[in-house]
C-alpha cells in the first residue's frame, strides 16, 4: 500500500473496520479456531483466540502421546474436543466404551475419512489400511484365507525359527565374539522384515545380512514419517515444497516413493515369471494375484503395489516395535524377566525348538509369556493413535454428541496409561494384571485394550504377530542375556506407529 492509499479515508476506514472485526472475532472465538462452532457438552482442550489448539499442537508435536495422556490425567473426563486452525473438528476419546462403540457397535458410521485418505494416499494408495466399503472388503476376504491354523503350525513357525537361527548366528553370536554393542531395535526391524517378506511374498530379502538399512526399508521409513507429518501439519503441501526448494539435494517424498514402488513392482514381476513357469505358491502374494477385485477384475499392477506396501507396514513395523519395547521393559524389570525365563525353561527344550508344530502347541500354553506381551502392548501399543470420520450424527455411550463430518481420534497409548481405565497402577509394567484370581489368562474387551483394533477391522495379523513375537522372545531369552547400554534416552518417534527414536543399544552375553 502506498502512503497516498493509506491516507485515503476509504482505506483508513477499511483498515479500522478490519482491525475492529478481528478484535470482535478474537473475542467471539476466544478459545477456538476462527469459524469453528462451540460444541455444547464436550470439554474443549486449551485454545487460543482464532488459532485454537494450533500452538499447543506445534509445541507438542514430538511428544504428542504424552500430551494426550496428560490431558486426561487430572480430570475424570475421558472425552474432549480439539479445535485447531486448518484442521477439521476432532473429538478425542480414551473411554473404552466409546472406542468399542466407534470400532464395533456402530461400525458402519465411522470410516477412514477424507483427511486420512489425503495424508495416506501417496504411500498407501487404495490398500487395506486406506480403503472403505467394497474396496476394503475384498482385500480383507482374500487375505484372511492365508491366516489359517495349518499355515501357522506348519509354515509360519518354521519361517520364524529359520530367521531367528540366522539372526542368532549373524548378529548375536558375532556380537558376543567381538564384544560389541548392537542396536536391538534395528535388528528387530530386519528380523520382521525378512520374515514377513519371505512368508508373504516368497522373497529372501536378507536385511539381517547387511550392516546398513536395505534401501527399500530406508525409503519406506522416510515415506512413513512424511505421511504422519501430513496428518498433524495442516500446511504440509507448502512446507514440503519449501523444504524441497531449501534443500534440493535431499531426497523428498517422490524419491522415497520411487524406491518403494520399484521394490513392490519387482516382487510382483518375479512372481509373474514363476507363475508362468508353472510354479505354484499359496502365500499372500499368490492369493492376491489370483484374486478378483471389488469389480470382479483381476488386480492390476497399481492395486498389487498398494497391497504389497500395506502388508509390509502391517507385518514389519508393528511387530518389530512390540519386540523392542518388550525387551526395553524386561531389561528394566528383572523380576519379570526372571519369571518369564523360568516359564520358558519349564516349557521349552532344545528338541521342541526345532519341531515347529510342537513349538506352536507349547507356546499356546505359555500364559505368562502371553501376559507379558499383552502388557507391553497396553503401555506401548504399536498403533498409538488413530482416526476415523463420522458419516452421520451419533450419540456415544458417555453421552457425547457426535456430528456428521466430525473426526474421531482415539489413543490406545493414552488409554493404557489412564488410571480410570486401569487403576492406580496404570503406569506400571505388571503382567500379573492379566490373570484372574484362579490363575487363568484374562482377555480384556477390545474397547478396553484396543492394541489390535476392534470389530470387523480388528487386526488380521493378531495371531501371526503374537506367534512371531513369542517365538522370538523365547529363543532370545533362552539363549542370551541382554543389557541396556547406559546413558541412552530411549523414547518414541512420533509416527503412524511407535518406533524408538534413536534405537536401543544393548550388550549381549550367553545365558548360562
Ligand atoms: C504387534 C503387532 C501388531 C499390532 C499391534 C497390530 C495392530 C493393528 C491395528 C491397531 C490395526 C488397525 C489399523 C487401522 O485400521 O487403522 C491393524 C490392522 C491390520 N493388521 Fe495388524 N498389528 C500387528 C501385526 C500385524 C501383522 C504381523 C500383520 C500381518 C499380516 C497384520 C495385519 C493387519 C492387517 C491386514 C490390518 C488391516 C485390517 C483391516 O483393515 O481390515 N498386523 N493391526
Ligand atoms: C488399476 O485398477 C484401479 C481400480 O480398478 C484403477 O483405478 C486404476 O486406474 C488401474 N490402474 C492401472 C494402471 O491400470
Ligand atoms: C538425554 O536427555 C537428557 C535430557 O533431555 C540430556 O540432558 C542428555 O544429554 C541426553 N543423553 C543422551 C545420551 O543423549
pLDDT in tens, 415-463: 999 999 999 999 999 999 999 999 999 989 999 999 999 999 999 999 9
Please give the pLDDT value at position 4. Answer: 53
**For ligand 3, what atom is nearest to the CA of residue 489?**
1
CA nearest ligand 3 atom 4, residue? 489
pLDDT tens readout for residues 31-45 = 777 667 888 888 888
Between 152 and 369, where is the model more confident? 369
- Please answer whether residues 284 and 311 qualify as being in contact, where contact means their C-beta atoms are separated by less than 8 angstroms: yes
Mean pLDDT of 265-288: 89
Set out the domains of the chain in order of their start, with CATH numbers.
132-380+452-510 (1.10.630.10)
When pLDDT is cut at 50, 70 and 90, the band that residue 1 belongs to is very low
The DSSP secondary structure of 368-384, one letter per residue, reads HHHHHHHHHHHHS-SS-
Q: Is 315 in the pocket of ligand 1 (CB under 6 A)?
A: yes
* CB-CB contact of 253 with 240 (8 Å): yes
Percentage of the chain exceeding pLDDT 70: 96
Cα separation of 368 and 65, whole Å? Answer: 28
Q: How far is the CA of 37 from the centre of ligand 1 (A)?
A: 35
Q: Using 50, 70 and 90 to split pLDDT, how confident is the model at 398?
A: very high
CB of 321 closer than 8 Å to CB of 382: yes
Q: If 0-12 CB within 10 Å is exposed, 13-18 middle and 19+ buried, where does residue 216 land?
A: buried
Closest residue by Cα to residue 29 from 14, 13, 44, 41: 44
Output the ligand 2 site: residues, CB below 6 A. Answer: 293, 300, 302-303
Atom of ligand 1 lying closest to residue 311 CA = 30
pLDDT at 120: 86
Q: Is 0.85 topped by the overall pTM? A: yes
Does residue 486 line the site of ligand 3, with CB under 6 A? no
Q: Which residue carries 486406506 as its cell?
A: 130
Q: Whose CA is nearest to atom 3 of ligand 3?
A: 489
Pocket mutation for ligand 1, best pick of 461, 464, 472, 497 (most atoms within 8 Å of C-beta) = 461
Task: State the residue for C-alpha cell 519395547.
Answer: 325
Give the mean pLDDT of the chain: 90
- Ligand 3 center–CA 324 separation, angstroms: 20
How far is the C-alpha of 417 from the C-alpha of 6, rounded, in Å?
57
Q: Closest Cα partner for 311 from 446, 450, 146? A: 146
User: Residue 134 pLDDT > 80, yes or no?
Assistant: yes
Cell of 313: 507396514
Q: What percent of the chain has pLDDT over 90?
A: 65
DSSP secondary structure letters along 40-69: TTSEEPP-BTBBBTHHHHHHTTTSHHHHHH
- Describe the crossing of helices 236-246 and 215-232 by its angle, rounded to 10 degrees: 130
The β-bridge partners of 510 are 480
Cα dihedral 282, 283, 284, 288 in deg (nearest 10): -30
Amino acid at each position: 500500500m502506498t502512503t497516498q492509499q493509506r491516507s485515503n479515508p476509504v482505506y483508513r476506514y477499511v483498515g479500522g473496520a478490519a482491525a475492529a472485526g478481528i478484535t470482535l472475532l478474537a473475542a467471539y472465538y476466544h478459545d477456538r479456531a476462527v469459524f469453528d462452532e462451540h460444541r455444547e457438552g464436550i470439554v474443549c482442550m486449551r485454545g487460543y483466540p482464532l488459532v485454537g489448539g494450533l500452538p499447543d499442537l506445534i509445541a507438542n508435536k514430538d511428544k504428542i502421546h504424552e500430551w494426550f495422556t496428560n490431558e486426561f490425567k487430572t480430570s475424570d473426563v475421558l472425552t474432549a474436543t480439539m479445535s485447531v486452525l486448518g484442521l477439521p473438528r476432532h473429538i478425542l476419546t480414551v473411554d473404552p466404551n466409546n472406542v468399542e462403540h466407534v470400532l464395533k457397535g456402530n461400525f458402519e458410521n465411522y470410516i477412514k475419512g477424507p483427511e486420512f485418505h489425503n495424508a495416506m494416499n501417496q504411500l498407501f494408495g487404495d490398500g487395506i489400511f486406506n480403503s472403505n466399503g467394497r474396496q476394503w472388503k475384498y482385500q480383507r476376504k482374500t487375505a484372511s484365507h492365508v491366516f489359517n491354523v495349518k499355515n501357522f503350525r506348519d509354515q509360519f513357525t518354521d519361517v520364524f525359527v529359520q530367521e531367528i537361527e540366522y539372526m542368532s548366528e549373524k548378529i548375536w553370536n558375532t556380537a558376543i565374539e567381538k564384544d560389541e554393542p548392537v542396536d536391538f531395535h534395528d535388528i528387530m526391524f530386519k528380523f520382521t522384515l525378512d520374515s514377513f517378506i519371505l512368508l508373504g511374498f516368497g522373497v529372501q530379502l536378507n536385511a539381517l545380512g547387511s550392516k546398513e538399512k536395505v534401501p527399500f526399508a530406508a525409503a519406506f521409513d522416510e515415506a512413513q514419517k512424511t505421511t504422519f507429518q501430513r496428518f498433524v501439519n495442516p500446511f504440509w503441501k507448502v512446507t514440503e515444497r519449501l523444504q524441497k526448494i531449501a534443500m534440493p539435494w535431499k531426497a523428498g517424498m517422490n524419491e522415497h516413493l520411487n524406491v518403494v514402488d520399484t521394490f513392490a513392482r519387482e516382487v510382483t514381476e518375479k512372481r509373474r515369471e514363476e507363475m508362468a513357469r508353472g510354479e505354484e505358491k499359496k502365500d499372500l502374494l499368490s492369493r492376491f494375484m489370483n484374486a478378483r477385485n471389488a469389480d470382479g477384475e483381476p488386480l492390476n499392477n497399481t492395486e498389487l503395489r498398494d497391497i504389497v506396501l500395506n502388508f509390509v507396514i502391517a507385518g514389519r513395523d508393528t511387530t518389530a516395535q512390540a519386540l523392542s519395547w518388550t525387551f526395553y521393559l524386561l531389561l528394566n524389570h528383572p523380576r519379570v524377566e526372571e519369571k518369564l525365563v523360568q516359564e520358558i525353561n519349564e516349557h521349552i527344550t532344545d528338541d521342541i525348538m526345532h519341531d515347529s508344530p510342537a513349538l506352536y502347541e507349547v507356546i499356546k500354553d505359555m500364559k505368562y509369556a502371553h501376559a507379558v506381551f499383552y502388557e507391553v502392548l497396553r503401555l506401548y501399543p504399536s498403533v498409538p493413535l488413530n482416526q476415523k470420520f463420522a458419516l452421520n450424527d451419533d450419540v456415544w455411550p458417555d453421552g457425547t454428541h457426535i456430528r456428521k463430518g466430525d473426526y474421531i481420534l482415539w489413543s490406545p497409548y493414552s488409554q493404557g496409561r489412564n488410571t480410570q481405565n486401569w487403576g492406580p497402577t496404570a503406569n506400571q509394567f505388571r503382567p500379573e494384571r492379566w490373570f484372574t484370581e484362579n490363575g487363568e489368562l484374562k482377555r480384556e474387551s477390545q474397547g478396553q485394550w484396543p492394541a489390535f483394533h476392534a470389530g470387523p477391522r480388528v487386526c488380521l495379523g493378531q495371531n501371526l504377530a503374537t506367534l512371531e513375537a513369542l517365538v522370538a522372545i523365547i529363543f532370545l531369552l533362552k539363549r542370551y542375556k541382554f543389557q541396556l547400554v547406559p546413558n541412552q534416552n530411549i523414547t518414541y518417534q512420533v509416527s503412524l506407529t511407535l518406533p524408538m527414536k534413536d534405537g536401543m543399544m544393548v550388550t549381549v552375553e550367553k545365558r548360562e
